[in-house]
Chain A
Amino acid sequence: MTEIVLTPAPSRPPTGLSALLRAFNANKASWIGLVIVILVVLAAIFAPLLAPHDPLEQDILDRLKPPTTDHLLGTDYFGRDTLSRLLYGARVSLIIGVGATLIAMALGTAIGMLAGWRGGRFDAVAMQAMDMLLAFPSLILGLIIVAMLGPSMPNIIAAIALTSIPTFARIARAPTIAMKGRDFIEAGRALGFSDTRILTRHILPNIFPEILVMATLWLANAIRTEASLAFIGLGLKPPTPTWGGMIREGFENILDSAWLAIAPGVAILIVVFALNLLGDGLRDAIDPKLRNET
């Protein structure tokens, strides 16, 4: 008797947001990263409730104090509470980081998709421009732009965004080219759909998970760049607390009170590490080829 073996149809690789959800369950490291990121976001949102002191309140009699029960992370040169400034500083880091990453993501994806879709000379010129931007050390580029525009929040966001656009353009271009020849896109064209509709409704959802993963990793980078700029002296003007600015102030007093520089340093490290953990885990899970490889 012939035995009939039923084999399930090969399942299609997950696309869109379902891939992201699956990714979360596949990699425990992403979970750890996500939990830390959520905690930091909550701490930033609820900074006014959580902060034990006003971050700008000075107390000259209590300056450069080591950690005590009243000031868990000590006080700075002006007697301001380090923990409170750290909590408020998280807001600046996150707003600048998320703002810059969203702008870079939107512009870079649009440029990359258009370049891939249209091909030819537009593709060549656009990607040459992207390669040029990519070749320049991003910190130096950001530094010069902020120095010339002035260190305000929109300018810092724009400078950091500009340095991250090429990466998103590269990420978006390759899958757009690959997808251009697929049957469902041909079908869309045959039905007379406009380019805009095909790009935004049919191609974008398919490449979105990859772009989101890249955004997580670049958010980490943006936060690091903002801190670096602030450390050089190109952050938001004092007394607004920023992590990079706090490190800069702490560094000036490093001989007396090193924790002032080290506490915000560790804060940046934790956030950037958590975002990298999250992005890395997501990438492994979304791209089976890369799984456990990078």
Chain B
Amino acid sequence: MTAFLIRRIAFAFVTLFSVLTLVFVIVRILPGDPAQLILGDQASREAIEAMHVRLGLDQPILLQYASFLGNALRGDWGVSMMTGQPVLAEVLNVLPWTIELTLVSLALGIAIGVPLGVWAAVRRNRLADYIVRIASLAGLSFPAFVSAIILLFLFAIELRWFPVISAHKGSLQAWTQSITLPAISLGLNSAAYITRVTRSAMLEVLSEDYVRTARAKGVPQRIVVWRHALRNALIPIITVAGLYLSTLIGNSVLTEIVFSRPGLGKLIVGALNQRDYTMLEGMMVIYTLAVVVVNLLSDLAYGLVDPRVKLA
């Protein structure tokens, strides 16, 4: 287990390093001078040069790269050009909101998707299966912000069951009220995705010899499906749920805008509108970190679910 852990963590560092390099390259190769972007078209030459010095853009490219990597890893992501606050502090301020939203949505997606997927697989090619397949395809087709707007309109504006602005304070009731609609909106998408993956993983496992053996031995169908088959189908489900978490983090941008919820999404859109260049670079680093951590966690989850993985 230790060797497996070390290998995975080393691999996570390699990925982190590569993606940070990608972020650096993207920001540098894109046409357009960041100083010009920040100061606008009317800025004088002197102002632009001063901004170059401030951003370190007057240094040789390799030096810029080294200081970018060093700063990113030390957690020194500079100061927001708009608020004057450290980027890290601003990010940490809203990060819990985004983590909370994505985790609750993913949990919702698993709670709906896994049973539906199992049910459809067991009833393969029957009416229930067709309905689940069409419904999950429709769920996948919803752009995150469209489902969010429809939910907001129906349940917050027309029926007034939930607040229009989902920024909870204090009590558990307020928390539940403010997270329900955003989590359903994001969770529907992940439920659709997980349903499809569960169904196809289950179909594969249900045709395996050991499932036939268990059935031949007279093990009840319920136990065959939920204990023998589902446990073995979990690996692809975890892989996809892990990969999907990065999509969820991306889509949460839209959900946060629609429900006026604080979070990384609102922060990044604010930074884009204000041309807050240092903030954007910091946000890209935080997204990179999030993706690497999520991938690492899902790798570790395999190890827990499937003992064979450790040997591989």
Contact = CB atoms under 8 A, between A and B. Distances in A.
Contacts of B250: 137-140
B194 interface: no
B37 A269 contact: no
Interface string B258-283: 10000000001100110000001000
A280 B287 contact: no
Interface string A256-286: 0010011001101100110011001000000
Contacts of A280: 137
A188 B196 CA distance: 41
B143 A269 contact: yes
Interface in A50-108: none
Given A144-B284, A232-B254, A247-B149, A136 B143 contact: no
A228 B144 contact: yes
A129 B246 CA distance: 17
Interface in A119-158: 128-129, 131-133, 135-141, 143-145, 147-150
A24 interface: no
Given A254-B152, A280-B137, A294-B196, A137 B31 contact: no
A293 interface: yes
Contacts of A254: 149, 152-153, 157
Q: For this complex, into which size category does the number of interface residues on chain B fall?
A: 35 or more
Contact of A136 (B141, B142, B291): B291
Nearest to A277: B137
Most chain A CB inside 10 Å of its own CB: which residue of B32, B125, B146: B146
B311 to A, nearest CB: 23
A144 to B, nearest CB: 6
A293 B153 contact: no
A165 interface: no
Given A136-B291, A137-B287, A145-B26, A231 B254 contact: yes
Interface string A145-178: 1011110000000000000000000000000000
A290 B200 CA distance: 8
A84 B30 CA distance: 36
Contacts of A204: none
Contact of A247 (B125, B145, B253): B145
B199 A293 contact: yes
Contact of B149 (A131, A135, A265, A290): A265
B150 interface: yes
B291 A276 contact: no
B239 interface: no
Contacts of A228: 143-145, 254
- Chain A contact residues, majority secondary structure: helix
Contacts of A140: 249-250, 253, 268, 284, 287
Interface string B21-35: 010001100111000
B208 to A, nearest CB: 14
A276 B141 contact: yes
Nearest to A148: B30
Contacts of B30: 145, 148-149
Nearest to B271: A147
A227 interface: yes
B140 A276 contact: yes
A91 B253 CA distance: 26
Contacts of B253: 139-140, 143, 232
Interface of A: 29, 128-129, 131-133, 135-141, 143-145, 147-150, 220, 224, 227-228, 231-234, 247, 251, 254-255, 258, 261-262, 265-266, 268-269, 272-273, 276-277, 280, 290, 292-294
